[in-house]
Amino acid sequence: MWVLVVDDSPSSIIFISEALRSLGHSVLTCTNGSSALETLQAMEVDAALVDYHMPGMNAAAFIATLRKQTKSATAATPVVVMTADASPKVARTALSMGAAAVLHKPLGLNELVAAIDAVDLKSQR
């Protein structure tokens, strides 16, 4: 499974990427929403893990822009939002924009695995 990890924190990208690779997934990384959208135009992935608070474009704006893409396979990419923000409003906003799930940082490996497995199962239907 190809997973795009989008986070402005290098340490988060390293942790998440290594965890996903150890589980057999292929990983692409970006440090902001704009570069992630460009990456998705060039290559289809099975899921995107996107940090909510990033400079320039938060996860809600990323999802809204992604869903408007004309390339239908890209527009339908499942997005799992990650956030260190405990505010219920952040989770509600992400889910209302079409996020498949919201994970709270710091991420645990079990939580990450469960979210990716759930997205993978949905995509196989």
Report pLDDT digits (tens) over 9-26: 999 999 999 999 999 999
Residue 23 makes CB contacts below 8 A (sequence gap 6+) with: 113, 116
Stretch 87-108: mean pLDDT, rounded? 95
Task: Give the CB-side neighbour count of residue 73, counting CA atoms within 13 A.
Answer: 7
Three-state DSSP at 58 gives coil
- One-character DSSP codes across 65-125: HHHT-SSHHHHT--EEEEES---HHHHHHHHHTT-SEEEESSPPHHHHHHHHHHHHHHHH-
What pLDDT, on a 0 to 100 scale, did the predictor assign at position 71? 72
Question: pLDDT per residue over 28-55, tens digit each?
Answer: 999 999 999 999 999 999 999 999 999 9
What pLDDT, on a 0 to 100 scale, did the predictor assign at position 19? 95
Q: Band of the pLDDT at 73, cuts 50, 70, 90?
A: confident
What pLDDT, on a 0 to 100 scale, did the predictor assign at position 74? 87
Q: Please state, for a pLDDT cut of 70, what percent of the chain lies above it.
A: 97
Q: Band of the pLDDT at 70, cuts 50, 70, 90?
A: low
Q: What angle do CA 18, 114, 52 make, to 5 degrees?
A: 70
Location of structure tokens 């890209």:
74
Sign of torsion over alpha carbons 82, 25, 18, 67: negative
pTM (predicted TM-score): 0.94
Q: Which CATH class is domain 2-124?
A: alpha beta
Domain positions in the chain: 2-124
Stretch 60-87: mean pLDDT, rounded? 91
